[in-house]
Structures are given as structure tokens and as C-alpha cells.
Amino acid sequence: AQTVTQSQPEMSVQEAETVTLSCTYDTSESDYYLFWYKQPPSRQMILVIRQEAYKQQNATENRFSVNFQKAAKSFSLKISDSQLGDAAMYFCAYLNRDDKIIFGKGTRLHILP
Amino acid sequence: EPEVTQTPSHQVTQMGQEVILRCVPISNHLYFYWYRQILGQKVEFLVSFYNNEISEKSEIFDDQFSVERPDGSNFTLKIRSTKLEDSAMYFCAIQGGREETQYFGPGTRLLVL
């Protein structure tokens, strides 16, 4: 069974600075998808970024980018120019062959003004 | 990004009562999912539904849970006899837009008293 581990329960970053959230996963599959979802206080789950495992190039979406290290099974999220609206819970997620998403426990990100 | 709505946004019920949670995708989709998030915990997969049949379900999805698509558009999750531990946020997700990507609805907050 696949597992997703987020080792940082909470992080803080100054507004306009850059922060990196860590995620590691364990799987025996070779093809899969990885995601970061954001959950603000409203508790809605918002897709931030996705990565296909067969692609070596790291995904980017505006201020959000990932560092995908397939051999190390690592998938970190970098947020550049942090904004107050980025404050949320961030979940790393793995999509397995059965179309089931497995989530990490989340990292709560605080943005300091 | 595909849109999904969920009703109700909040529901309070007495233990032992039946609840029906509804998911309404804005456009036609074939793949549907239910997840739940107990307060303070990670998001957990419940069930996936494809072509009007359950394709995968977790150990959480026992006999008190059922899903159906009664009118070809709405997708419902029924909990027959609610327990206190069913109190959680329930998310519907659809697969659409980009390949192998699940988009979540805003969730239904269920409180069982």
C-alpha cells in the first residue's frame, strides 16, 4: 500500500519570502500522479499543482513549483513571494492505480505580515 | 477547472438518523469519488463510482454507506444510521479537466449528536 508522509506539521514564512513544504511517499508503482492541495479555513480542497511521475520536468503554476525526485520518492512544494492568502493547510497527495487519492497529514502554513 | 457543488453545506443530525449528502457536477462526468475528513485529521478515501457502479471502496465504507446516481446528474452518499464518529467533512470529487486529476467540491460538514 502507498503512503504519503509530510514531516512538517506547521511552518511559518514572512510575507514575500519563499517557503518549501516537504513530502515523501512510498510506492511500488512506476506510473502515478502527485498533487498538492490547499485547504484554507473554509475547508474547501483546492488543487494547487500536479505532477505526472513519467515526466522528469518539475511542474510549475505561477508562484508554485515542485521539486520532484522520483528515485528519492520526494515531492516538495515551493511557494515563492508568499502572500497572506497562501495561509492554509497543504496536503500532499498520491493518486494510485485504483484512482484512489492517498493524502498526507498536512502542513499548516502561516504567513507572517 | 470542473465545478462541483455539494448540498447541504452543513448538516446536524441525531445519532441513528439517515442522512443523504448530494454532489452536483456542473457538467457531465463519469468518475465520482467520496472522501471524508474527520476534524484535525487527514482526508480519507471512501468510495469511487464509475459508470453507475462502485469501482473501489475503502474499509471505512461499510454496509451503512451507499452511493447512487439517482437521476443521472446528482451523485449521493447515504449514511443509513449515523454514529457519532461519522461527524466529519465529506467531500465529493470528480475526475475531469486535466487527465487523472480529481477536483473537489466545497464539502458538507456533518455533525452527529
A101: nearest Cα among B48, B110, B30: B48
| Of the partner residues A46, A99, A105, the one whose CB lies closest to the CB of residue B31 | A99
Query: Which 8-state DSSP code applies to residue A80?
Result: -
The mean per-residue pLDDT over the stretch A80-96 comes to: 96
Closest chain B residue to A6, measured at CA: B42
Helix, strand, coil % over all residues of chain B, rounded to 5: 5, 55, 45
The mean per-residue pLDDT over the stretch A79-90 comes to: 97
Closest chain B residue to A105, measured at CA: B42
Rounded CA-CA distance B65/B18 in Å is 10
- Within an 8 Å CB–CB cutoff, is residue A50 touching chain B? yes
The mean per-residue pLDDT over the stretch B76-104 comes to: 90
The mean pLDDT of chain A is 95
Best B43, B51, B99, B110 residue to mutate vs chain A (most A CBs within 10 Å): B43
Q: Do A44 and B106 touch (CB under 8 A)?
A: yes
The mean pLDDT of chain B is 89
